[in-house]
Structure 1
Amino acid sequence: MKEVLLNNLLDKEFQKMLFPLNLMQTVILQPKYRILNGFVTPIGLREYFICFLGVIVVIFVNLIKWYSSKFYYEVDLASVDTLLAFDTAFYSLSSFVLLTVNFVQSKNNVLLILKLQQVYKVFDSNSGLKKTRNYNCVAILIITLTCLLFLIINYGRHFHQIIFVISLYYFDGNIIFAIQIMKFLEHEIKMWLKALDRFCVTCSEPNHNKLTKYFSEIEQQETRLFTAFLDIMEAFKLYKYIFQYSVSIRAFYSLLVARDFIYAEFYY
């Protein structure tokens, strides 16, 4: 048991890098794992409750939108009502899908975080973690300001639209998390390639003394690079399992938002 716990231990700098994303996931009621006393573990009862609360909020907000929109549309009420019913069903079902994914993929989320840290340890570059943390903060700030600007410009007069657009943050925040994790994976691949280039340059060293000295460590370096490569590939597989449904939902919901905007122009 102690060995398992030690394998789940996250470095402090790595925790700081993840903190903005973890905070956002809690705010949008979609925690994917739990970090307690430096150890990352699958979600527990508290996180289960938070996830269920997120689904309830999404369903409740869409029901309010469906009901209150009837008082704003003046023509073609039947078709509008059908579209709103479809929206309510889609967003409610999508929230259930994300809830299920969070439950089923909780262990994979933990494994993904551990793989990311394991690869990063090979290259020893905490400065990159600080930059990534700043990028995470900027990404969250941009999506939040975009949501607020969208509300002010288009839906400032209608309360039901305001709370609905805020509820879309439930889905957008999940995609921001996925994007930032992918960007971090991309950063790790670049670090691996640079390390591989340095390895190849050193192996082609013409100086006999330097090359002989390096041969004593060549097997260890090969093992480190190969292991890091396998961990990166495994992280990509875990990423696919975890986020494939979220991306599909986000792509379809973007079409619905565009359609709602067109209807708002014609009927408000």
Structure 2
Amino acid sequence: MAVTIEEIQNIIDKDLQSLLRPLNLMYILFGCAKYKIHDNKISPNSVIYNTISSITAIFIFCISFYFMIGTFSLNFNGYIYINHLGKIYTYILLIVGCLSDLYTNIFQKSNYISFVMNIQNIYRSLNISGIFRSYIFPNWVSVIALNCFHFTWMFYTFYAFQSLDHSFVFASYYCIVFDMNIVYAIRIMRLINKSLKYWLEDVEMSGRFVTESYWNKMFETYIEILKTYQIIESTFQRTVCLSV
């Protein structure tokens, strides 16, 4: 079977897949992946996947809205009142966060594909496989640490605050997706910053006697870096603000 040019352009190197795998893990588990990588090729989520994600988001929205309205209708005083304010905040975060993630995953799906491809172009142009590989283990550590934090908070809340509904405690674990947006953005920003630093060092050490093709390649790489920064701003700014 013939391979199209588009399929060739969307092939993702193994190092980049390994780097992104831990960052994408939580999105996949909660049904809100930003793209899919299959057979070393990246592509937007299918219509079926987006439909399932939409149904999940609507379900979470309805459940959160129902419990939030129920919380408003109750009359609490003192310490219990503070607990229920926290529950209301969490419900609002779930509602707004789910809708925001759903919007970006569906209507900005092309940006996510371009985002990954830009990173790969930088990787190939600068030949910095060592730098990319050095980020794989820290990415796993970041995801594991985030889960440990949430599980610790869940179990502490479960036993320390008996007045809270236990189902609410476990349901609030979904908020890890919003924290994952911050981790994702920070890890990728650090990677791009490191790539830009390497680019500057390469240019400084190149000297005056280099070919025109070298400068063309470095200029194109610089443009790719700028585009990546712009995509990070446009796609992650809204979702990251929810958790700040």
Range of TM-score over shorter length: 0.7 to 0.9
1:156-208: CA deviations, max 9, x gaps?
344134224312112112222222221221121121112112213xx3xxxxx
| 1:6-85 superposed matches below 5 A | 6-56=8-58, 58-59=60-61, 62=64, 66=68, 74-75=76-77
1:236-261: CA deviations, max 9, x gaps?
1111111111122222xxxxxxxxxx
Alpha-carbon distance, 1:66 to partner: 3.9
CA distance in 2, matches of 1:146, 1:89: 21
CA separation of 1:118/1:140 partners in 2, compared to 1, >3 Å: closer, same or farther? same
CA distance in 2, matches of 1:244, 1:81: 29
Mean Cα displacement is larger for which, 42-51 or 96-105?
Answer: 42-51
Residue 104 of structure 2 corresponds to 101
Contact 2:26 2:177 in 1 (8 A): no
The counterpart of 1:169, out of the listed 169, 176, 179, is 176
Q: Considering only aligned residues, what root-mean-square deviation do their CA atoms show, in Å?
A: 3.0
The counterpart of 2:201, out of the listed 174, 194, 202, is 194
SS of match in other structure, 1:223: helix
Contact 1:178 1:243 in 2 (8 A): yes
CA distance in 2, matches of 1:197, 1:111: 29
CA separation of 1:139/1:151 partners in 2, compared to 1, >3 Å: closer, same or farther? same
The counterpart of 2:135, out of the listed 132, 136, 152, is 132
Question: When the two structures are aligned, how many residues end up with a matched partner?
Answer: 237
Residue 243 of structure 1 corresponds to 236
Contact 1:29 1:170 in 2 (8 A): no
Quote the sequence identity (%).
18
Larger radius of gyration: 1
SS of match in other structure, 1:31: coil
CA separation of 1:178/1:125 partners in 2, compared to 1, >3 Å: closer, same or farther? same
Alpha-carbon distance, 1:84 to partner: 5.2
**TM-score of the pair, normalised by structure 2:** 0.84
Contact 2:12 2:42 in 1 (8 A): yes
Contact 2:44 2:109 in 1 (8 A): yes
Alpha-carbon distance, 1:87 to partner: 5.1
CA separation of 1:46/1:185 partners in 2, compared to 1, >3 Å: closer, same or farther? farther
2:230 alignment partner AA? K
Alpha-carbon distance, 1:49 to partner: 3.7
SS of match in other structure, 2:37: strand
Alpha-carbon distance, 1:53 to partner: 4.8
Q: Which runs of 4+ in 1 moved over 2 A?
A: 49-54, 56-70, 72-91, 152-158
SS of match in other structure, 1:29: coil
Residue 264 of structure 1 corresponds to none
Mean Cα displacement is larger for which, 129-138 or 89-98?
Answer: 89-98
**TM-score of the pair, normalised by structure 1:** 0.77
CA distance in 1, matches of 2:75, 2:144: 33
CA distance in 2, matches of 1:234, 1:174: 19
Structure 2 residue runs without a partner (length 5+): none
CA distance in 2, matches of 1:135, 1:80: 35
Structure 1 residue runs without a partner (length 5+): 204-214, 252-268
Alpha-carbon distance, 1:128 to partner: 1.7
CA separation of 1:132/1:238 partners in 2, compared to 1, >3 Å: closer, same or farther? same
Alpha-carbon distance, 1:227 to partner: 0.9
Alpha-carbon distance, 1:125 to partner: 2.5
Alpha-carbon distance, 1:98 to partner: 1.5
